[in-house]
Amino acid sequence: MRHRYSILFFPLHIIIDFLSLNAAFVGGYLLKFQTTVGVTDHPYASFWLLFNLIWLVEILLLKPYTFPRQLFKAGHLLKKLLFLTGIHIAVISMYWVAIRGYYYSREHLLITYTLFLSLGALFRIGGLVFLREYRARGYNSRRYVIVGYGKLAASIHSFYETHPEMGFRFYGYFDKSTAENKGILTGTYTELSNYIGREGIDCVYCCLTYMDNEQLKAIVDHAEVANYQVKLLVDFRGFLARGTSVEYHDFLPVLNLSSEVLADFRVNVFKRSFDILFSVVALGLGMPIFLAVAAITRLTSAGPTFYAQERIGQGGKPFKIYKFRSMYVDAEKAGPALSGGLLDNRITPWGRFMRQTRLDELPQFYNVLRGDMSVVGPRPERQFFIDQIVEIAPEYRSLLKVKPGITSIGQVKFGYAANVDEMVKRLRYDLLYPQRRSFIFDMWIIAQTLRVMAQGRGK
């Protein structure tokens, strides 16, 4: 079954909200006055009518019930309900002051809006749960195809596969036939039009990376006749960052991708001041621990106490990172290699303990004082591995806009990475940091790091 009943959602939503509003008004009157006698008499009858008229005007002006399936989420629905109710309260308040309607009960109004928000939220959440389950079972679905085969096409397909509650059903890839996509394509460009009509396709995703303008124009022109949606996919993940904006040159939209500072001057100054103060205190109070760890490192295996390695810092600038040596000497004589975890035979027995407790990272407070690193920030990597990560996850470049750190949310939630795939998995956590960077968030990460150190759960 396709989405033939989708057209009913709009009027059903309006009707239920009006029923909720009126039930709340009468219910509030009943709870306040212990009777419904009088609610249809003056002055409450006109007040009741005004309630409905204001809500109707809001619907006509703001069109609150039109949104794509991707935004059909509880948070979005409840925010819009609160927004509409806030406007309604503001208009009623102005009317109250204008007519000096102090004879209306404030308690009645409070109960009415409380009931309305409760009923509205209950309906929205209940409807959302029902629709998600309904669509996950294959009903009320929208059929889509993807034109142009590649990583970008696979990404949108994977997104809808992991979100069946959105009700999008995949009907195949269309592209030029090549040796790489042999056996994967449903058809070629010449077969697309007939396939859309035969299968009743609702939406065509066009990956601009893999197709030219003539092919796109043909699809758009055909959409006007065959009545399907055309959506364009452009891969901005590698260079899209905070501060991106759209400029309009007459009717032509231009995407401005100029880099901007991720936090204002005051945040950066405060963070740098905190880094210096925290590092001085850590180095001062922790000196006995540092000396003990250094001595044990030197005595338990041949080689230097400290280990220095080039990493890439803020803005792509290389620097030397310092650690207590946790591996045997010449562990990478065969070339750059990531640690295979605590079972890696290149790690010394004492090194395993240091990694579990994160003691090997302590010398990096020197890097913090030098300004190469921060106490909290995404972990710095070597250029050799950055090149491999970017091929899989281009969004990694956004982490180079902030100063790397001794600890990060990725280190707390994931730990050391044994291969590039694990580095990409850890990246999913670290990408949260530039967006949520704040003093409170830094304190939370530091607290979690201390807990990991105390419990010896580092990996």
CA distance linking residue 397 with residue 391, whole number of Å: 11
Whether residues 333 and 199 share a domain: the answer is no
What per-residue string of b and e applies to 327-341 under the rule 16 or more CB within 10 Å gives b? beeebeeeeeebbeb
The three-state secondary structure class of 445 is helix
Same domain, 105 and 162: no
Question: Tokens 């990246």 label which residue?
Answer: 427
Residues 270 and 402 in one domain: yes
Q: What's the chain's Rg over C-alpha atoms?
A: 30
Same domain, 318 and 441: yes
Identify the pLDDT of residue 241. Answer: 47
Same domain, 68 and 90: yes
Same domain, 45 and 191: no
User: What whole-number distance in Å separates Cα of residue 15 and Cα of residue 17?
Assistant: 5
Residue where a domain stops, chosen among 107, 136, 165: 136
**pTM of the predicted protein model:** 0.46
Tokens of 201: 């396709």
| Alpha carbon distance 177, 164 (integer Å) | 29
Question: Residue 219: what pLDDT?
Answer: 92
Distance separating alpha carbons of residues 164 and 102, to the nearest angstrom: 52
Distance (Å, whole) CA 420 – CA 417: 7
Is residue 445, in this structure, part of any structural domain at all?
yes
Specify whether the CB–CB gap between 313 and 403 falls below 8 A.
yes
Residue 108 lies in a domain: yes
Q: What are phi and psi of 206, to 5 degrees?
A: -110, 115
Overall number of domains in the chain = 3
Does residue 13 fall inside a structural domain? Answer: yes
- How far CA 212 is from CA of 148, 175, 287, in Å, comes to 10, 11, 63
Query: Strand pairing partners for 13?
Result: none
With a cut of 70, which residues of the chain have pLDDT below it? 1-9, 66-72, 236-267, 333-343, 456-459
In a domain, 242, yes or no: no
Question: Residue 248's pLDDT is what?
Answer: 59
Residue 105 domain-assigned (yes or no): yes
**Distance, CA of 402 to CA of 268 (rounded, Å):** 10
Q: Could you tell me if 210 and 293 lie in one domain?
A: no
Domain boundary among 99, 117, 136: 136
Return the pLDDT at 8: 65
Q: What is the pLDDT of residue 263?
A: 45
Helix (H, G, I), strand (E, B) or coil at 262: coil
Classify residue 240: in a domain, yes or no: no
As a whole number of angstroms, the distance between CA 336 and CA 328 comes to 15
Burial 43-68 (b: 16+ CB within 10 A, else e): ebeebbeebeebbeebbeeeebeeee
- CATH of residue 175's domain is 3.40.50.720
The SS3 of residue 179 is coil
Residue 305: name the closest of 319, 290, 320 by CA.
290
Number of neighbours of residue 384 by Cβ within 10 angstroms? 12
Q: Are residues 284 and 356 in the same domain?
A: yes
- Domain of residue 434 covers 265-455
Encode 277-299: b = buried (16+ Cβ within 10 Å), e = exposed: ebbeebbeeeeeebeebbebbee
Main-chain phi, psi angles of 426, to 5 degrees: -65, -30
Angle at 439 between CA 279 and CA 457, to 5 degrees: 65
Same-domain status, 184 and 324? no
Residue 119 shares a structural domain with residue 159:
no
DSSP-derived pairing of the beta strands 229-233 and 245-249: unpaired
